[in-house]
Amino acid sequence: MHASQFVPFYESRKDKEEIVHCLNMSDTLIVLSHYYKDFYMKIGVRPEKIIILDNIVPYPDIRKESELYDGKRNLHILFLGEISQRKGAFDLIKAIETHSYLRDKINIRIGGNGEVENLHNAILNSNLEDCITFEGWVDGEKKVNLLNWADVYILPSYNEGLPISILEALSYNCPIISTPVGGIPEVVITNNTSHNKQNGILVEPGDIDQIAASIHYYIENPEQVEIQGKNSGKIVEKYYPKVVFSNLKEIYMNLL
């Protein structure tokens, strides 16, 4: 089960019993996080059928060409994903427009596809061309370069499973600004007492003031960019191919 919008789909349906019956016909239901395991258990999927298999992320190609953020240059912020309200792309633009004091202290690069024309219009109408750049669809070498460029990764989504883009950003030692939806709180740790692994800030979906405050925090606390970035690199280790493939093999072997 990989669909980020299964929850609203299920909640909108009248044939919920039939959906759960179909899920229970499987030998194993693979989900991406504890959040989704709890969800499927609550709707009636038998617990013994549900197995968490972490999403997988490629090993990083780290080649930091720019110096670590020290507060003496603009903060580099990266957004990669579907250009839509669901992913929070327009909330990010609104946050910078509304809190204009940030614009001279940041550079934002946005990559993805979707509502591209609306994105261009939002940037132009907000007069933010000087600090926000649209990169178009991003993959391959271009993605590697952008992830190496980034100081902080942002994805203020309204619903998610466990985004690959966040895992990729973690692997490049980026602190994360995101939202507490789906499996995101399992990889973006905001409580510094939780094994001392704080690596980001979670904001409520649609809260542009919180988005702006989070960006401002990293501008004012450059040492946290490096500290939390290193924590991200540790948190993501269990999502690398060697670990995930081993776990997937075990699932198959147990079914044979």
pLDDT tops 80 at residue 195: no
Helix (H, G, I), strand (E, B) or coil at 41: helix
The band of 68, judged by pLDDT with boundaries at 50, 70 and 90, is confident
* pLDDT (0 to 100) of residue 217: 97
Which amino acid is located at 33 in the chain? S
pTM: 0.90
Beta-strand relationship, 176-178 and 75-80: unpaired
Give whichever of 31-40, 110-119, 195-204 has the largest mean pLDDT: 110-119
CA 149/CA 90 separation, integer angstroms = 22
| Residues 1-30: tens digit of each pLDDT | 987 789 889 999 999 999 999 999 999 999
CA 173/CA 22 separation, integer angstroms = 40
In angstroms, the first-to-last Cα distance of the chain is 21
Number of neighbours of residue 46 by Cβ within 10 angstroms: 13
pLDDT tops 70 at residue 123: yes
Domains and CATH numbers, the chain: 1-53 (no CATH), 75-237 (3.40.50.2000)
* pLDDT (0 to 100) of residue 3: 78
Classify residue 176 by its DSSP letter. E
| Residues 136-160: tens digit of each pLDDT | 999 999 999 999 999 999 999 998 8
Tokens 């197995």, residue located: 51
* pLDDT (0 to 100) of residue 111: 97
* pLDDT (0 to 100) of residue 2: 84
| Residues 201-244: tens digit of each pLDDT | 999 999 999 999 999 999 999 999 999 999 999 999 999 999 99
- Are 136 and 157 in contact by the 8 Å Cβ rule? The answer is no
Of 132, 135, 138, give the one whose Cα is nearest residue 108. 132
The band of 251, judged by pLDDT with boundaries at 50, 70 and 90, is very high
* pLDDT (0 to 100) of residue 109: 98
Helix (H, G, I), strand (E, B) or coil at 130: coil
- Are 153 and 173 in contact by the 8 Å Cβ rule? The answer is no
Provide the CB-side half-sphere exposure for 3 (13 A, CA).
7
**How many H helices and E strands in the chain?**
10, 8
